[in-house]
Structure 1
Amino acid sequence: MFGINGYELIILAVLAVAILGPERLPEYASQLARLVRELRRMATGAREQLREEVGPEIDEVDWRKLDPRQYDPRRIIKEALLDDVEEAVRPAAGRSNGAVRPAAARPGTVPAAPARPAVAPAAPSPVQRIERLGAGEPAPFDAEAT
């Protein structure tokens, strides 16, 4: 209850008696009891109103699963990273190491005649050549980039 143990509750009761005095203590205790009853009545009313509006599905919800205190960001990130690694490491179905075997190496196939090596058309290289600046030469400036 509010993180208070038995000893702390006794100390609070003694302090309440000392501060309020024996004359006013029963009055404040009855006000506290009324407040607690009113809060319980309001909570029960809110629960019943929620059941009426949502329906019987509200009883089937596992509220502990939705508790934000159970989420550990380190565990979530670790699981997400390990899922990616397991998918990358797992071999493809039907292959021992993920490589495609040529037709001659497959059992039960007849090797075909050797094919001519195909000459691929010259495609532009995706790697651009880097030109170094000479000593004392200023770097190029792109006005739109800044």
Structure 2
Amino acid sequence: MFFGLTIEKLLVIGVIAAMVIGPERLPRYAESLARLTTQFREFLRNAKTRVRDEMGDDFDDVDWRTLDPRQYDPRRIVREALLDDAPVPTVRAAQVGAAIEATSPPPPPGAMRAFTPDEPPPFDGEAT
């Protein structure tokens, strides 16, 4: 099958094209289609050669089937993303940070720290 078209469908399309184009112009159109197909194959062959030349030895190591866009099912991608382990938190929450801050040494300069609700946030007058 070619892009979901069967032989029967191609035959029906060919018969309709022959009736629309007419017997006088059909040979010219068939020749143009053959020339276009040949040019397209040559273009693909040249593109593959250029990619092989630019990638070098890594070209043979690539599993091209994994790059096929037809294999990507959005439902599967979402399902796998939801089933992944939750990321490890890297920033402490404000409530936990305040409790830890009372028992831990002061953070190094530039480190994040928790603020209390009555404390004004830092302000950099040169940044605005």
Q: Same fold (TM over 0.5)?
A: yes
Partner of 1:23, secondary structure, is coil
Map of 2:5 onto structure 1: 4
Query: How do residues 127-138 of structure 1 correspond to structure 2 at under 5 angstroms?
Result: none
What is the distance in 1 between the residues matched to 2:79 and 2:14?
Answer: 48
Map of 1:46 onto structure 2: 47
Q: Report how far residue 11 of structure 1 moved.
A: 1.2
Identity %: 52
What is the distance in 1 between the residues matched to 2:54 and 2:6?
Answer: 39
**Matched residue type, 1:45:** N
Closer/same/farther in 2, CA of residues 34 and 68 from structure 1, 3 Å limit: closer
Gaps of 5+ in 1: 86-122, 124-146
Gaps of 5+ in 2: 87-101, 103-128
What is the distance in 2 between the residues matched to 1:49 and 1:82?
Answer: 40
**Matched residue type, 2:38:** R
What is the distance in 2 between the residues matched to 1:82 and 1:9?
Answer: 44
Map of 1:29 onto structure 2: 30
Partner of 1:65, secondary structure, is helix
Partner of 2:24, secondary structure, is helix
Partner of 1:64, secondary structure, is helix
What is the distance in 1 between the residues matched to 2:81 and 2:37?
Answer: 45
Query: How do residues 43-122 of structure 1 correspond to structure 2 at under 5 angstroms?
Result: 43-84=44-85
Which consecutive segments of 4 or more residues in structure 1 shift more than 2 A?
66-85
Partner of 1:84, secondary structure, is coil
TM-score by length of 1: 0.50
What is the distance in 1 between the residues matched to 2:49 and 2:3?
Answer: 26
Closer/same/farther in 2, CA of residues 6 and 84 from structure 1, 3 Å limit: same
Aligned residues: 86
Partner of 1:33, secondary structure, is helix
Partner of 1:2, secondary structure, is coil
Map of 1:117 onto structure 2: none
